[in-house]
């Protein structure tokens, strides 16, 4: 009995091997299709996707969800980036600039801008203040060849932003993204008119976020990028991998004037806030208290007999007749809170006060020696910088 079963098994194996040999010789594609559709073939990919977690999983999902290549992102954004030429006025000097070059009182400067709004027969262009500062004439050229003389709606030197109006119909408006969604390492494109050679696209990554205390502007929270940026890119677009505007290119760090991979862009959220204020008022109205402040060091805390765990900003001086003086703020006080906002550095104090509406009342929490004091202050309007 066992002998018969063994013979049957051997014959079945022989027939099966013969069938495989015939298929491999005459129809090899049948075997390849079966292998590719087997669960074992798809298991490694499924395992790698399922095994990803945390930041790695988020990065993988972001890459898979992105519908555009960088070429497509450039094609989407580039039509809304314009070249800006200025003439007349005094030449503007600027730390770490990449604006236009020129000599003497009469100049022809070059910069860039971004069409952020189009309505009927006109539209609005965001650019840098230093591109159009003191210009007697501003000309804008679109990527499709159209040109127009622009009207300066308003400018904000403290953020280095300006808003122009151009009388042209059917303007290509850029899609707006969110710089708050950016992560270090995300791909970005810088689009502008470097050295006046014509529209140019360069690629890089986000190198850092919320760069402050660079001494470029009064109000700073820059996006840093290594995308190549050169003179003439000022006011141009920094766009994400989907072609959406996330920043306005504003400055570079360079000893030679050319790109060394340290470029800085103004976040689009700040640019939009400034744009709305310029459209409605022609200027940006910010709160003002009239104090000179400095960092609170351990030595100062000990000398002023302050609590060792205190967080705040030391008042070094109070301007005569200012809202702070009228509220009773004194040199040597430590401001710990403005309204509902805690402050711990001169920059945070500046920003907290600037966000207040001029004319409104607010509380100032002050530490005076061992005593905590609450003062009532009426917010002043920040003077226009010269």
Q: What is the pLDDT of residue 190?
A: 93
pTM for the full model? 0.71
**Percentage above 70 pLDDT, the chain:** 74
Of the residues 83, 112, 129, 130, only one is catalytic, namely 130
Alpha-carbon dihedral 319, 325, 330, 334, rounded to 10 degrees = -90
Give all domains of the chain, ordered by start, each with its CATH number: 79-166 (2.40.10.10), 179-281 (2.40.10.10), 287-381 (2.30.42.10)
Residue 128 clears pLDDT 90, i.e. is over it: yes
pLDDT digits (tens, 9 = 90+) for 196-226: 788 889 999 998 888 777 767 777 788 999 8
pLDDT digits (tens, 9 = 90+) for 268-312: 999 999 999 999 888 888 999 999 888 887 777 777 777 777 888
Sequence-distant (6+) residues with CB within 8 A of 285 are: 277, 357, 358, 381, 382
Read off the pLDDT band of 21 (50, 70, 90).
Answer: low
Going from the C-alpha of 144 to that of each of 74, 82, 291, 318, the distances in angstroms are 15, 10, 50, 54
Q: How far apart are CA 83 and CA 234, in angstroms?
A: 10
Specify whether 130 is catalytic: yes
Is the Cβ–Cβ distance between 290 and 315 less than 8 Å? no
Specify whether 234 is catalytic: yes
pLDDT digits (tens, 9 = 90+) for 315-358: 989 999 999 999 999 998 889 989 989 988 888 898 899 989 99
* Phi, psi dihedrals of residue 250, rounded to the nearest 5°: -130, -35
Average pLDDT, the chain: 79
Burial class (CB in 10 A: 0-12, 13-18, 19+), 163: buried
Q: At what angle do helices 2-26 and 28-36 cross, to 10 degrees?
A: 100
Lowest mean pLDDT among 38-52, 54-68, 248-262: 38-52
Residue 28 clears pLDDT 60, i.e. is over it: no
Using alpha carbons only, give the angle 265, 269, 275 rounded to the nearest 5 degrees.
Answer: 95
Of the residues 83, 234, 254, 259, only one is catalytic, namely 234
Q: How far apart are CA 211 and CA 213, in angstroms?
A: 7
* Phi, psi dihedrals of residue 221, rounded to the nearest 5°: -160, 60
Specify whether 34 is catalytic: no
Q: What is the pLDDT of residue 384?
A: 75
The helix (run of H) or strand (run of E) holding residue 188 is: strand 187-192
Read off the pLDDT band of 246 (50, 70, 90).
Answer: very high
Which residue in this structure is represented by tokens 């530490």?
Answer: 367
Residue 65 clears pLDDT 70, i.e. is over it: no
pLDDT digits (tens, 9 = 90+) for 134-167: 888 999 999 888 999 999 999 999 889 999 999 9
Q: How far apart are CA 56 and CA 79, in angstroms?
A: 34
């Amino acid at each position: 009995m066992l002998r018969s079963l063994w013979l049957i098994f051997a014959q079945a194996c022989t027939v099966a091997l013969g069938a495989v040999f015939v298929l491999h010789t005459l129809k090899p594609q049948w075997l390849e299709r079966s292998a590719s559709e087997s669960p074992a073939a798809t298991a490694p990919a499924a395992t790698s996707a399922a095994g990803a977690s945390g930041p790695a999983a988020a990065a993988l999902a972001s890459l898979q969800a992105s519908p555009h290549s960088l070429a497509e992102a450039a094609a989407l954004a580039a039509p809304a980036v314009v070249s800006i030429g200025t003439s007349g006025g005094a030449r503007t000097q600027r730390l770490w600039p990449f604006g236009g070059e020129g000599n003497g009182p009469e100049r022809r400067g070059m910069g860039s801008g971004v069409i952020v709004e189009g309505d009927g027969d006109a539209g609005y262009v965001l650019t840098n203040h230093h591109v159009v500062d003191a210009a007697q004439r501003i000309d804008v050229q679109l990527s499709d060849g159209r040109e127009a003389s622009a009207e300066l709606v308003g400018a904000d030197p403290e953020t280095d932003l300006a808003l122009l109006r151009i009388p042209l119909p059917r303007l290509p408006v850029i899609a707006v993204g969110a710089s708050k969604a950016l992560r270090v390492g995300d791909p970005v494109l810088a689009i502008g008119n470097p050295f006046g050679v014509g529209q140019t696209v360069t690629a890089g990554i986000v190198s850092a976020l919320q760069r402050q205390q660079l001494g470029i502007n009064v109000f700073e929270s820059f996006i840093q990028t290594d995308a190549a940026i050169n003179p003439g890119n000022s006011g141009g677009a920094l766009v994400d991998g989907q072609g959406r505007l996330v920043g306005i290119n504003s400055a570079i760090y360079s000893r030679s004037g050319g790109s060394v991979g340290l470029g800085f862009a103004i976040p689009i959220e700040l640019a939009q806030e400034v744009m709305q204020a310029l459209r409605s008022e022609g200027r940006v109205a910010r709160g003002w208290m009239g104090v000179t402040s400095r960092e609170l060091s351990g030595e100062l805390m000990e000398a002023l007999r302050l609590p060792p765990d205190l967080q705040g900003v030391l008042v070094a001086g109070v301007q005569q007749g200012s809202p702070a003086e009228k509220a009773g703020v004194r040199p040597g006080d430590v401001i710990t809170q403005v309204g509902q906002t805690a402050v711990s550095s001169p920059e945070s104090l500046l920003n907290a006060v600037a966000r207040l509406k001029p004319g409104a009342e607010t509380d100032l929490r002050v530490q005076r020696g061992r005593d905590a004091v609450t003062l009532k202050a009426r917010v002043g309007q920040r003077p226009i910088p010269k």
